[in-house]
Amino acid sequence: MVWTALIAPITSILDKFIEDKDQKNKLAQHRSVWVAGWRPFIGWVCGVALAWHFVLSPVIIFMAAWFNVVLPALPQFDMGSLMTVLMGMLGLGGLRTFEKTKGLTK
C-alpha cells in the first residue's frame, strides 16, 4: 500500500506527458497529399527521382548539347534500389490487392 501511494503521483504526472495513442493518430491524419504520412513521402521521393532520371536529366543534357554548353557531371543514383522501393510502394507483389479484395482496407 505504501508503494501504491508513492507511485500514484508519479503515474499521474507521466500521464500528462505521455500522449494517448488514439488521440495522436487522430491528430496525425491529414487530408493533404503532402503530409499524410510516410507512404506519400516515399511516393513523392520516388516520383521526383524518376522524373529526374527519365525526364529532367535527359532534357537538360539535350538542351546543353543544343546550345553547346559544357555541364559538370549531373547526379546519378542507383535505379535498382529506387525501383525496388517503387515496386514495393505500388504493391506489385499483390498483397495490397489481396487486402482490398478481402475488405481489410479502404
pLDDT (tens digit per residue) in 9-68 = 655 655 666 555 565 455 455 566 555 566 778 888 888 999 999 999 999 999 999 999
Query: For position 24, what pLDDT does the model report?
Result: 46
Asked if residue 18 belongs to a domain, the reply is yes
Residue 40 vs residues 30, 47, 55: alpha-carbon distances, Å: 12, 10, 21
pLDDT at residue 88 in the model: 79
Residue of higher predicted confidence among 96 and 34: 96
Is the pLDDT confidence value at 6 over 60?
no
In one letter, which amino acid is 31? Answer: R
Query: In the numeric block, which cell numbers belong to residue 3?
Result: 508503494
Closest CA to 76 of 52, 59, 41: 52
- Residue 106 in any domain: the answer is no
Which carries the bigger pLDDT value, residue 5 or residue 61? Answer: 61
What totals of helices (H) and strands (E) does the chain contain, helices first? 6, 0
* 86 within some domain: yes
Number of folded domains in the chain? Answer: 1
Q: Which long-range contacts (CB under 8 A, 24 or more apart) does 86-91 make?
A: 86/46, 86/50, 89/39, 89/42, 89/43, 89/46
The predicted structure's pLDDT at residue 66: 97
pTM of the full predicted structure? 0.54
Confidence at residue 37, expressed as pLDDT on a 0 to 100 scale: 67
The answer to whether position 11 is within a domain reads: yes
Residue 36 sits in which domain range?
A: 2-101
Whether 39 maps to a domain, the answer reads yes
Residue 17 lies in a domain: yes
| Residue 92 in this model has a pLDDT that exceeds 70 | no
pLDDT at 44: 83
